């Protein structure tokens, strides 16, 4: 069962990379989303987890907006599909090593980042967006990691103090072969329109304004 789940995780990682690439046509994107949800539901079944009921597009049904009869039919249909899938998997004589060959030919790498502190005189709350950046192609090659920092010099969620960690995943050999990769931190100030405005009756709270940016070559 471990090898089976491992193979499924490899498939999901590969499909996730395709979804994040943003290069798929609309019809292929819809088909890939259905494959992802089907794989997740199948994995939940073999791991004896709860069955998630979805609509035709793969979206989770809201029990507050769906009738009991519709939920029952959707649950019954999902159970039948998963049962058929299990029979197909059990009827295979040989295990599928395609995912292992894909991973060996296209290995993925990860970057672990631990945010210990943020020192910048802003005077208000801030949002920090951290990402990986290719300076030659002038493009961001990862998702953003968001940290909300308070005006007193601590994270907004105090429980996250000394626990701000992120792993940038799905980095392939192509990314490692880039001439330079920067870890970029974009700083957005959250508060007044003008820092000099001290009259509470004149300024509006909660405005998001670009404040600064920092980068470090990896």
What lies within 8 Å, CB to CB, of 213 at 6+ separation is 184, 185, 186, 187
Sign of the dihedral defined by the CA atoms of residues 174, 172, 147, 164, in that order: negative
Domain 2-105 has CATH 3.40.190.10: no
- What is the per-residue pLDDT for 184? 93
What residue segments make up the domains of the chain, in order of their start?
2-105, 109-217
Ordered per-residue pLDDT tens for the chain, 218 residues: 677 788 888 888 878 877 776 677 777 888 888 888 888 888 887 787 777 777 777 777 777 888 888 888 888 887 887 777 777 666 654 455 555 555 455 567 788 888 888 888 888 889 999 999 988 888 888 888 888 888 888 888 877 777 788 888 877 777 778 888 999 999 999 887 776 666 555 556 778 888 999 999 98
The answer to whether the CB of 147 falls within 8 A of the CB of 210 is no
Tell me the three state secondary structure of residue 88. helix
What lies within 8 Å, CB to CB, of 203 at 6+ separation is 192, 193, 194, 197
**pTM of the predicted model, to two decimals?**
0.49
Query: Which DSSP helix (H) or strand (E) runs through 215?
Result: strand 207-217
């Amino acid at each position: 069962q471990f090898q089976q789940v491992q193979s499924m995780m490899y498939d999901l990682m590969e499909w996730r990379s395709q979804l994040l690439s943003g290069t798929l046509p609309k019809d292929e994107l819809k088909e890939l989303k259905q494959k992802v949800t089907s794989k997740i539901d199948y994995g939940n079944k073999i791991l004896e987890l709860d069955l998630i009921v979805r609509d035709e597009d793969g979206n989770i049904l809201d029990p507050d907006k769906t009738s009991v009869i519709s939920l029952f039919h959707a649950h019954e249909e999902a159970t039948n599909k998963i049962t058929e899938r299990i029979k197909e998997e059990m009827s295979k004589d040989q295990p599928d090593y395609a995912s292992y060959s894909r991973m060996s030919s296209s290995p993925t790498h990860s970057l672990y980042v631990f945010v210990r502190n943020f020192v910048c005189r802003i005077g208000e709350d801030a949002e920090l967006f951290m990402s990986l950046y290719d300076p030659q192609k002038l493009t961001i090659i990862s998702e953003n990691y968001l940290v909300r920092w308070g005006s007193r010099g601590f994270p907004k969620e105090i429980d996250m103090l000394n626990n701000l960690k992120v792993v940038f995943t799905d980095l392939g050999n192509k990314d490692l072969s880039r001439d330079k990769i920067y870890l970029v931190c974009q700083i957005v100030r959250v508060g007044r329109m003008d820092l000099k405005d001290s009259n509470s009756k004149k300024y509006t709270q909660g405005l998001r304004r670009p404040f600064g940016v920092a980068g470090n070559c990896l």
